[in-house]
Amino acid sequence: MNIKFLSIALLLCCSSSAFADAIYGMQNYSKRSAIQSTSAKPIIINVSEQKNSGAYSKAIEELKIKIASEPSNYILYVNLIDLYINSGMFDPAFQELMNLAALNDKKLLSSNVFISLKKLNNNIKSQVRYSVASSNYLICSSIINIILNDYKTAEKCLNIVISKPNISHHLIESINFVYNKTKNYSEAVSCLDEILKKNPSDINAKKSRAFYLIKLNKNKGALNDFSEILFQNPDDQQVFYEIYKILKSQKKSEKEFVNYFVKNLKFTEEQTFDSLSSILLNNEDYSSAEFYAQKLIKKYPDNANGYIVLSEIYRKQGKLKESYEILQKVKDKADDKNSIAKYNVLSAKLSEQPVKEAVTLMNNALYSQALEVLDSADPDNLYVILNKSVCYYYLNNKQKALELANTAMSFYPKNPDVFYNFAFLFFNENDLESSRNYLNSALKINPSHKKALILQDSINKAEADKLIDQILACLDSQNYNEAMRLINKALSINSKDSFLYLYKGITYIAQSNYAASTAMLYKAIDLDKSNFLAYYYLAVAFDNLSEFSNALENYKIFVNKLPKDAYQESEKYEYAKLRIEKLSAK
């Protein structure tokens, strides 16, 4: 455990047996980090990593905290977007605008929100002509106009951006969002053509263009675009599947179909069968996937993927016995990292206890694989829902984690594990008050809930830690009465903290109450025998009590336990050596 050490230098002016008790100089070596927390407290909103934005940063943080407590107050989201834009933080502004657009699609925005958005849009318009970041302003305005149902202005904003020499990295995403709303696919293709003139290698622009060509029934052009992309990026499964669909619509024979990939895209036959079987499986075209998996197994029996695909197809069809038998054949053939991972996931899915298998994967931080296992299990099972919530949290999709927690609560409103799950989420976001409230609800239902009791200890430590900086400040300013009050308050929350007893012992020394200090320092040592400062101050207390044998013993322990790199404690080290020499002479 990392520990917080208190550096207090005593001005120990020696006489034969007494020492001055003046205390000065307080410094932390290292911050106790038993409680790890993320920087973004709210788990409801999903924003990008923030940059320091000067005067706006504090307002942004305060607003995010308010949103966490009022997640349905969507005007607050508009205010947050406004702050982001004014501080030049366009990435999180764009993301929050997209979130608002999604809420609008669900008919969740009130008329007051639209009024606020109109005001924001007017502010943006006033800044566009004077700003070097005009493209970013216009992109934000285009999304707002879509929310406000002003499709014509939304398209106009994007056309202005496209005419500029520098392309914003949100432009392609904005084009896709706007033109899929307006269904003006021809204009979308024209916009993307302009982008490709400036940057012919822009894969995202070319991919979007191909999708719009399909919507316009121009499959030949789409096939050419997709083929160029796949030639450069042979692992792009989405593009591979789009090519497959176009060729299938052209009623190509199986031989012609495979030859297209072999001749035009330089795939081998084995790679073609392998990719097709996996991609068709992922797109739930099970009959076609089975056809190519059988081809792969027949022609290339050492390729593990054919067996894995076939086993997964049988599993999805409920043929668990056949699935298991096929999977056993692949056990010794899975010789690369990818196929081994697929084998492990499928093996877990076939287990009678998918939740148990998922937890094992989660314990090894394999959250994506655990989600795959859980996705195959009963979606209404409480522990499937709760473990998926935890997986999404660790995969940094905190909004999804909270949504699943709310789903669990709606299904099982009196289950202590549901309350514990909420307590876990809020604790990891450092919202200790909310975490404790949910935890108390869990323990009210089940007072012996093991995980809840462990989390309760962690919350106690975290709350006590929040008082430590105040305690140190009081000791530094010699406000010992306030220091003692805060120490006792911290101990009432967490009575198992060695350093709180150390601080209490030091406070007693500062008040010349040496006998009381020894009791506190012994308690600190009982809790943590590596707390070397407790030995030092125990020696000081005994020295002042003229119990020199005890003082000598503890000075020696301190010197032996002092870490070699603890150079900040050199004054104590030198003083302890001096007292050891003098007391040994006695």
- pLDDT tens for 334-377 read 677 777 777 777 776 665 567 888 888 999 899 999 998 888 77
Going by pLDDT thresholds of 50, 70 and 90, the confidence category of residue 48 is very low
- Which is nearest to 325 in space by CA: 305, 345, 347? 347
Domain assignment of residue 338, yes or no = no
> Is 90 exceeded by the pLDDT of residue 496?
no
Residues 112 and 94 in one domain: yes
Going by pLDDT thresholds of 50, 70 and 90, the confidence category of residue 35 is very low
| pLDDT recorded at residue 47 | 31
Burial 460-486 (b: 16+ CB within 10 A, else e): bbbbbbebbebbbebbbeeebeebbeb
> Is the pTM of the predicted complex or chain greater than 0.75?
no
Number of domains in the chain: 3
pLDDT tens column, 499-532: 899 999 999 999 999 989 999 999 999 998 888 8
Helix axes 498-510, 480-493, angle to 10 degrees: 160
Domain assignment of residue 428, yes or no = yes
Residues 466 and 576 in one domain: yes
Instruction: Flag the least confident range among 3-7, 186-190, 389-393, 461-465.
Output: 3-7
Helix axes 171-182, 90-105, angle to 10 degrees: 20
Domain assignment of residue 302, yes or no = no
Residues 474 and 435 in one domain: no
Identity of the residue numbered 31: K
Burial 247-284 (b: 16+ CB within 10 A, else e): beeeeeeeeebbebbeeebebeebbbbbbbbbbbbeee
The whole-number average pLDDT for the span 421-449 is 91
d(CA 40, CA 363): 24
Going by pLDDT thresholds of 50, 70 and 90, the confidence category of residue 193 is very high
Residues 466 and 418 in one domain: no
Q: Of 150, 182, 214, which residue is a domain's last?
A: 182
Q: Of 439, 455, 471, which residue is a domain's last?
A: 455
Helix (H) or strand (E) holding 376: none
| pLDDT recorded at residue 56 | 75
Residues 450 and 499 in one domain: no
9 versus 373: the higher-pLDDT residue is 373
Residues 102 and 156 in one domain: yes
27 DSSP β-pair partners: 7
| pLDDT recorded at residue 390 | 94
pLDDT, averaged across the chain: 82
Cβ atoms within 10 Å of 456's Cβ, excluding its own = 18
Residues 466 and 448 in one domain: no
d(CA 310, CA 227): 27
Residues 91 and 104 in one domain: yes
Domain assignment of residue 209, yes or no = no
Residues 446 and 488 in one domain: no
| pLDDT recorded at residue 93 | 92
Domain assignment of residue 581, yes or no = yes
What CATH number corresponds to the domain at position 120? Answer: 1.25.40
Give the residue numbers spanning the domain of 118. 54-182
| pLDDT recorded at residue 155 | 94
The proportion of the chain whose per-residue pLDDT surpasses 70, expressed as a percent, equals 86
> Is 70 exceeded by the pLDDT of residue 37?
no
Going by pLDDT thresholds of 50, 70 and 90, the confidence category of residue 23 is very low
> Is 60 exceeded by the pLDDT of residue 30?
no
Residue 59's contacts (CB-CB under 8 Å, 6 or more residues apart) are 83
What CATH number corresponds to the domain at position 444? Answer: 1.25.40.10
| pLDDT recorded at residue 151 | 94
Q: How much of the chain is helix, strand and coil, in % rounded to 5?
A: 70, 0, 25
Residues 463 and 556 in one domain: yes
> Is 80 exceeded by the pLDDT of residue 159?
yes
pLDDT tens column, 106-143: 899 999 999 999 999 998 888 776 566 688 899 999 99
Instruction: Report CA 493 to chain centroid distance, whole Å.
Output: 28
| pLDDT recorded at residue 565 | 63
pLDDT tens column, 548-564: 999 999 999 988 887 76
Domain assignment of residue 500, yes or no = yes
Instruction: Flag the least confident range among 79-93, 318-332, 540-554.
Output: 318-332
Which of 208-212, 461-465, 529-533: highest mean pLDDT?
Answer: 208-212
DSSP SS3 for 576: helix
Residues 505 and 412 in one domain: no
Going by pLDDT thresholds of 50, 70 and 90, the confidence category of residue 542 is very high
> Is 60 exceeded by the pLDDT of residue 34?
no
What own/partner pairs with CB < 8 Å and gap ≥ 24 does 227-234 have? 227/264, 227/265, 229/203, 230/265, 231/264, 231/265, 231/266, 232/203, 233/203, 234/265, 234/267, 234/271
| pLDDT recorded at residue 352 | 59
- Is 134 within 8 Å of 128 (Cβ atoms)? yes
The whole-number average pLDDT for the span 539-553 is 91
Domain assignment of residue 130, yes or no = yes
Residues 165 and 95 in one domain: yes
Instruction: Flag the least confident range among 279-283, 351-355, 443-447.
Output: 351-355
Domain assignment of residue 260, yes or no = no
392 versus 353: the higher-pLDDT residue is 392
Q: Look up tokens 């969002």; give the residue.
A: 177
Identity of the residue numbered 131: S
| pLDDT recorded at residue 538 | 93
Q: Of 155, 182, 209, which residue is a domain's last?
A: 182
> Is 60 exceeded by the pLDDT of residue 180?
yes
- Is 146 within 8 Å of 100 (Cβ atoms)? no
